[in-house]
Structure 1
Amino acid sequence: MTTVTLHSSAGKWVMVTTILASAMAFIDGTALNVVLPALQQSLHASAAELFWVLNAYMLMLASLILIGGSLGDRLGRKKVFMTGIFVFILGSTACGFAGSATMLIIFRMLQGIGGALMIPGSLSLITSSINENERGKAIGTWSAVTTLVTMGGPVLGGALADAGLWRYIFFINVPIGVAALVFLAWKVNESRETEGDQRLDFPGAVLTAAGLALLTFGFLRMPSLGFGNPQVYGTIAGGILLLVIFVIVENKSRHPMLPVRLFSNLTFTGTNLLTFFLYAGLGAGMLFLSLDMVQVQGYTQLQSGLTFLPFTVLMILIARFTGSMADKYGPRLFLVAGPCITGAGLLLLSFVKQTAGAKDYWTTFFPGIVGLGLGMSLTVAPLTATVMGSVSDHLSGTASGVNNAVTRIAGVFANAIFGALAVLFFSGAVQREIRSLPLNDPQKDAVVAQTVNLGNAAVPADIDPAHHPMIRKVHKDGFIIAYGRIMQLSAGLAFLGGLMGFLFIRKQPATG
């Protein structure tokens, strides 16, 4: 397949279109975290519905993203990429008009279908189109710019939420998506594989979609039902069984959607394990950090978004340079140091207790966020380039689909497991603190029951107003305890990611 240089006209248009489409999806994710309190209030959503607004998208994305990557390799990367963008635009428009939490959850699923076709296509187009010697730099550029735009999401989300315009988080995707479609149609050539068997692997597609959907759904139901519920352990077990059958079928298939031999490559396996642990820790950490700032520390949603600017600045300054350095010296050092520094940042953030609000930011949250930004700046471009460079070019879409699926499943895992743990930690802390309050047992039970709403826990209506300040303090103190433990667990996952880099990544990635 003919490749182009990064500085050629064709190379620049590949970068512009992939960055636009990726930014559209990533803005949506980061901005949504910040507007959750406003969205919850506007739609009268429960905490469970709030998590489903996040996770309905993740459910469809995780279930279908392997199929999206494989379809791009077989049917044409540009064609599948454009289809995904179009579906994502439709889903975003519908989300913007949603009148209830239930409708928003349904339309987020449509966004997820679009994302599954769109997200693998961006990296696959870069990998298949850009000259091999400049691929790390190209992915570094993609990482830096998309992260810049992505981290602008919380600022934008905060401003819109404070103005009562949270719906525009979804509407803003429409012009970005339309621009990407126009540029793709006029300026980017189609890219597809012509070698080997190009037939679609329908048994593999059905098995992977059903297996990932059951596994994801089980994790998502865990916070509200507990692992002992048949709906939870039954769907998780069913998902694992279908994925085992999927591996067996793919191993015997003449045209597998996912060649199992990819996982015999230790670099490919190691980078995906690193991705899982790092993004599970980061996803949980970022979510609970946003909730803590807005619901407990008294930040406005705009202030909460602005606190991530150091992260953005570090990504701009470092990510592209890191991609070039990894091309030159190999990715191993970056993929050990980066996750460990990210873990150190999460650990620092776990020690932040009650503050006086945004005026205390520089001496409380700022050092930890710098750690997050520095760690991820060192990690993102080398990690992506190593995943894509560890396989042959004709499997670039599949490799991107696998790595993105791992990222999304890590996010779902983190939201589900850590969401359940946060309620457990929170309720335990409140139960201990409330013993000394002058309340009867039913009132104490009602106060503890509010912990399912996390930072949005309210004082029950039938309690004497004189006791309200004490109960609010108990809720705040209990949430901060839960937040600290979740951040420490998140840090542990990031450190595990660094261990995967140490164990599995060679100095130079091997192609196979």
Structure 2
Amino acid sequence: MPQKISSVNAILFVICLSSSLVPFMGSALNLALPYINEDFSINASLSGWIPTSYMLSTAIFQIPCAKLADMIGRRRVFIWGLILFILFTVLSGVASSVVSLIIYRFLSGIGSAMIFGTSAAILMSAIPLQKRGQALGINAATVYFSLAAGPFLGGILTQYWGWQSIFYISALIAFFVLIGALFAIKENWKEERKQTFDVIGSVLYALGLSAIIYGFTILPAILGFILLAAGVLIMVAFSVYEKKQTNPVFDIKVFFENKVFKYSSLSALINYSATFAISFMLSLYLQYVRGLSPRDAGLILIVQSIMMAVVSFASGKLSDKMSASFLSTLGMSIIFIGLIGLCFIGESTNFYIIIALLVLIGFGFGVFSSPNMNILMSSVDKQHYGFASATAGTMRLVGQSLSMGIAMMSISLLIGDIKFSAAVHTELMYSMRITFIICSVLCLFGVYASSVAKPK
């Protein structure tokens, strides 16, 4: 049944507002990390686990939650995800130790997995075919405006009301989303046929992905290589097992037999792997090396997200009219050029040069994101919207986790387990440069993946 325009707009508003939660809190927390480090007296290696624990749980639960949503209804899973997110985000704000903060962040990630495993599927089900690119562009623009607001507002909140206020504001936004979802989203959108939940496949998936992500973050330790090898073996076993299942938690056949879906998913994974650590490393650089306050560092970092927001809205509309594959490939190529520029940042680089590079990367990301999402979601049949939505979200979160893993690995190699301070600014500069070089190389592979993800 076609949706009324008013109800479609209401659903779009709710989904966009829900999409703003994670980017706002994540980018705001990057500016607050030095304060959290100081309050809990934690070392450089442990600091990275505050954002990584959240991304890890969201990544490993997103696919199972999407499958559960197909069985019991996307609306129901979306709403319960918001409730969990609100609860554990508030608890994160009152955490009394770094261990409890990391645990609460992990648990709030489960709520996020339920939200983001269903949101794009709800949007695709409610929006007419000819308007999908525009809707996805609006949704992407909301994400990037939230990313833009995060560093600026996060810097102000941290400086005047403490880092805890970031969690309280995020929980308040989620509460408004919950109220909106209860009134705006009427349909439940679930599969008509009876299905059984793939428990064994879900466990194998969670174990394999966790081992890979955690192993990557503790490289070059021997345990890191062991966990990586174990994770790969478990994922191979998972793939073999899923091929034999009638109701698999992860539809391997769709992933491997649909070339467009496979390569657009891979390009999204590489894109986030190459870009997510930028704001994390630059926030440390601007505060520890250049001596800026959280507010001033946020004002510099905000330009990338503003450019991403403006351009992604335009590229989303454009992808309804011209080659989305060309746009996504062009965007990835521009990001590569910007990353190369970041590799040459020094301790006295002019701030205008840094801002120009962030504008360039933001432009490239905006050109890439909406068209790539349009390709990915439009490459599958309607019954696979939930799976495609969760896969896109998982690729994003796994990519972000791997990106943080690259940053944490370079920090661990050059700084180790000592506390961050201005005294280690030389080591921080080297670790930042290593991170950006690795990300630049990754981006080249992303250019190739985007170029071959061409819908017929």
TM over 0.5: yes
Q: Determine if contact 1:336/1:501 at 8 Å carries over to the other structure.
A: yes
Aligned residue identity for 1:254:
T
Change (3 A) 1:67 1:371: same
Distance 1:44 1:125 in 2: 43
Higher relative contact order (CA 8 A, sep 6+): 2
**Shift, 1:455, TM fit:** 8.3
1:215–1:236 CA contact under 8 A, matched in 2? yes
Instruction: Give deviations 1:426-447, integer Å, cap 9, x for gaps.
Output: 3xxxxxxxxxxxxxxxxxxxxx
- Counterpart of 1:464 in structure 2 is none
SS of 1:56's equivalent? helix
* Pairwise CA distance, 1:97: 0.1
- Given that residues 455 and 479 in structure 1 are in contact (C-alpha distance below 8 angstroms), is that contact kept between their aligned partners in structure 2? no
Q: Please state how far the C-alpha of 1:132 moved relative to its aligned partner.
A: 1.1
Residues 292 and 455, structure 1, Cα contact 8 Å, conserved in 2: no
Q: Could you tell me how far apart the structure 2 residues matched to 1:51 and 1:495 are?
A: 26
1:291–1:455 CA contact under 8 A, matched in 2? no
Paired residue for 1:228?
A: 222
Give CA deviations for 1:30-73 in whole Å, capped at 9, x if unaligned: 11111101111112122222111121112211211111222222
Contact 1:346 1:487 in 2 (8 A): yes
Q: Where does residue 153 of structure 2 map in the other structure?
A: 156
Q: Could you tell me whether the CA contact under 8 Å between 1:73 and 1:395 is conserved in 2? A: no
- Determine whether 1:306 maps to 2:299: yes
Contact 1:197 1:255 in 2 (8 A): no
2:341 alignment partner in structure 1:
348
Displacement of 1:213 in angstroms is 2.2
- Could you say which residue in structure 1 is the equivalent of 2:429? 480
Match of residue 16, structure 1, among 7, 10, 13 = 13
Counterpart for residue 242 of structure 2: 250
**Structure 1 unaligned blocks of 5 or more:** 427-450, 459-471
33 and 353 in structure 1: CA distance in 2 versus 1, 3 angstrom threshold: same
Query: Which position in structure 2 is the counterpart of 1:505?
Result: 453
Alignment of 1:359-374 (within 5 A): 360-362=350-352, 364-374=353-363
Counterparts of 2:135 and 2:296, CA distance in 1:
33
1:259 to 213, 232, 251: 251
2:330 and 2:85 map into 1 onto residues whose CA distance is 35
| Superposed displacement of residue 98, structure 1 | 0.5
TM-aligned CA deviation for residue 315 of structure 1 = 3.0
For residues 33-432 of structure 1, the aligned pairs below 5 Å read 33-222=30-219, 226-229=220-223, 232-263=224-255, 264-355=257-348, 360-362=350-352, 364-424=353-413, 426=414
Tell me how far 1:155 sits from its aligned partner: 0.7
Amino acid at match of 1:372: I
Q: Aligned partners of 1:337, 1:162: CA distance in 2, in Å?
A: 39
Question: Pairwise CA RMSD of aligned residues?
Answer: 1.9
Give how far 1:457 is off.
4.2
Provide the C-alpha distance between the structure 1 equivalents of 2:252 and 2:200, rounded to a whole number of angstroms: 15
Matched, 1:25 2:22: yes
Q: Mean Cα displacement is larger for which, 257-266 or 414-423?
A: 414-423
Distance 1:484 1:221, change over 3 A: closer
Is contact 2:89–2:170 with CA below 8 Å preserved after alignment?
yes
State the number of aligned residues: 455
- Please report how far the alpha carbon of residue 197 of structure 1 lies from its aligned counterpart in structure 2 after TM superposition: 4.4
Partners of 1:221 and 1:420 lie apart in 2 by 6
Deviation larger for 314-323 or 398-407: 314-323
- Counterpart of 1:478, as a letter, is E
Cα distance 1:482–1:206, how it changes in 2: closer, same or farther (>3 A)?
A: closer
Deviation per CA, 1:228-270: give whole Å up to 9, x if none. Answer: 23xx333323322222222112111111222211121111111
In 1, Cα distance between the equivalents of 2:442 and 2:54?
Answer: 23
Q: Deviations over 1:215-234 (max 9, x none)?
A: 22222333xxx3423xx333
3-state secondary structure, aligned to 1:198: coil
CA offset at residue 371 of structure 1? 0.9
TM-superposed CA distance for 1:187, in Å, is: 1.7
Deviation at 1:456, TM superposition (A): 1.6
Q: What percentage of aligned pairs have identical amino acids? A: 25
SS in 2 for 1:308: helix
How many Å separate the matches in 1 of 2:132 and 2:401? Answer: 30
Deviates more, 1:240-249 or 1:79-88: 240-249
Return the TM-score normalized by structure 2.
0.95
2:217/2:409 contact within 8 Å kept: no
Partners of 1:316 and 1:278 in 2: CA distance: 16
Give the residue type in structure 1 aligned to 2:17.
L
Larger CA Rg, structure 1 vs 2? 1
> Tell me, which stretches of 5 or more residues in structure 2 are unaligned?
none
- Counterpart for residue 4 of structure 1: 3
